[in-house]
A and B are shown apart, each in its own frame.
Chain A
Amino acid sequence: MASILSLRRRIRTAGNVSKTTRAMQMIAASKLKKAQDSAVLSRPYVEKLSALSKNLSGKIETDNLHPYMKENGLENTLYIIISPDKGLSGGLVSNLTRELFESTKNKNDIFITIGKKAEPGVFSLDKEVLASFPFGTSLPPFETVYPVIKLVNDYFLNNKVGSVKIISTKFTSVFSQEPVIKEILPVKFEEKSEGTNGMLFEPAIEDLLPSLLEHYIEMELYQNLLESYASEQAARMVAMKNATDNAKEIIKELQLEYNKIRQEKITNEILDIIGGQFAYA
Chain B
Amino acid sequence: MKLHLEVITPEKVILEEDVDEITLTTATGEISILPNHENLLTKLMPGEMTIKNNGKEEHFAVTGGFLEVSENRISLLAEYAVRASDIEVGKAEEAHERAKRKMAEHKNDNEFRIAESELRKAILELKVARRNKIRTS
User: Is residue A275 within 8 Å, beta carbon to beta carbon, of the partner chain?
Assistant: no
Contact between A56 and B27, CB atoms less than 8 A apart: no
Contact between A48 and B77, CB atoms less than 8 A apart: yes
User: Is residue A198 within 8 Å, beta carbon to beta carbon, of the partner chain?
Assistant: yes
User: Is residue A63 within 8 Å, beta carbon to beta carbon, of the partner chain?
Assistant: no
A72 and B116 alpha carbons, distance in the complex (Å):
36
User: Is residue A130 within 8 Å, beta carbon to beta carbon, of the partner chain?
Assistant: no
Contact between A203 and B41, CB atoms less than 8 A apart: no
Contact between B11 and A49, CB atoms less than 8 A apart: no
Contact between B42 and A45, CB atoms less than 8 A apart: no
For B13-52 the 0/1 string (1 means CB < 8 A from A) is 1000000000000111000000000111111000000000
Contact between B41 and A56, CB atoms less than 8 A apart: yes
> Which single member of B13, B40, B43, B77 contacts A49 (CB below 8 Å)?
B77
Contact between A146 and B43, CB atoms less than 8 A apart: no
Contact between B41 and A208, CB atoms less than 8 A apart: yes
User: Is residue A44 within 8 Å, beta carbon to beta carbon, of the partner chain?
Assistant: yes
Contact between B13 and A143, CB atoms less than 8 A apart: no
Give residues 64-92 of B contacting A (CB, 8 Å).
66, 68, 70, 75, 77
A146 and B39 alpha carbons, distance in the complex (Å):
33
User: Is residue A276 within 8 Å, beta carbon to beta carbon, of the partner chain?
Assistant: no
Contact between B11 and A200, CB atoms less than 8 A apart: no
Shortest Cβ distance from residue B38 to the other chain A in the assembled complex, whole angstroms: 5
Say whether chain A's binding surface is mostly helix, strand, loop, or mixed: helix
Shortest Cβ distance from residue B100 to the other chain A in the assembled complex, whole angstroms: 19
Which chain A residue has the least Cβ–Cβ distance from B42?
A: A202
Contact between B41 and A146, CB atoms less than 8 A apart: no
User: Is residue B95 within 8 Å, beta carbon to beta carbon, of the partner chain?
Assistant: no
Interface centre among B13, B28, B77 (most CB of A within 10 A): B77
Contact between A143 and B40, CB atoms less than 8 A apart: no
Shortest Cβ distance from residue B17 to the other chain A in the assembled complex, whole angstroms: 15
A45 and B110 alpha carbons, distance in the complex (Å):
24
With A48-B75, A143-B114, A146-B110 known as contacts, the answer to whether A41 contacts B41 (CB < 8 A) is no
- Chain B: residues with Cβ within 8 Å of the partner, total of 24
A212 and B114 alpha carbons, distance in the complex (Å):
19
Interface residues on A, range: 20 to 34
With A45-B8, A202-B26 known as contacts, the answer to whether A208 contacts B110 (CB < 8 A) is no
User: Is residue B12 within 8 Å, beta carbon to beta carbon, of the partner chain?
Assistant: yes
Contact between A200 and B13, CB atoms less than 8 A apart: no
User: Is residue A278 within 8 Å, beta carbon to beta carbon, of the partner chain?
Assistant: no
Contact between B39 and A195, CB atoms less than 8 A apart: yes
Contact between B28 and A202, CB atoms less than 8 A apart: yes
User: Is residue B132 within 8 Å, beta carbon to beta carbon, of the partner chain?
Assistant: no
Give residues 4-46 of A contacting B (CB, 8 Å).
38, 41-42, 44-46
Contact between B43 and A41, CB atoms less than 8 A apart: no
Shortest Cβ distance from residue A255 to the other chain B in the assembled complex, whole angstroms: 49
24 residue pairs A–B, Cβ–Cβ below 8 Å: A41-B13, A42-B11, A42-B12, A44-B8, A45-B8, A45-B9, A46-B10, A48-B6, A49-B77, A52-B68, A52-B75, A56-B41, A143-B114, A146-B110, A198-B38, A199-B41, A200-B38, A200-B39, A202-B27, A202-B40, A202-B42, A203-B43, A208-B43, A215-B66
Residues of A within 8 A of B (CB): 38, 41-42, 44-46, 48-49, 52, 56, 143, 146, 195, 198-203, 205, 208, 211-212, 215, 219, 222
Given contacts A52-B68, A52-B77, A208-B43, 14 further A-B contacts (CB under 8 A): A41-B11, A42-B12, A45-B9, A45-B77, A48-B8, A143-B110, A195-B39, A195-B70, A198-B38, A199-B41, A201-B42, A208-B42, A219-B10, A222-B10
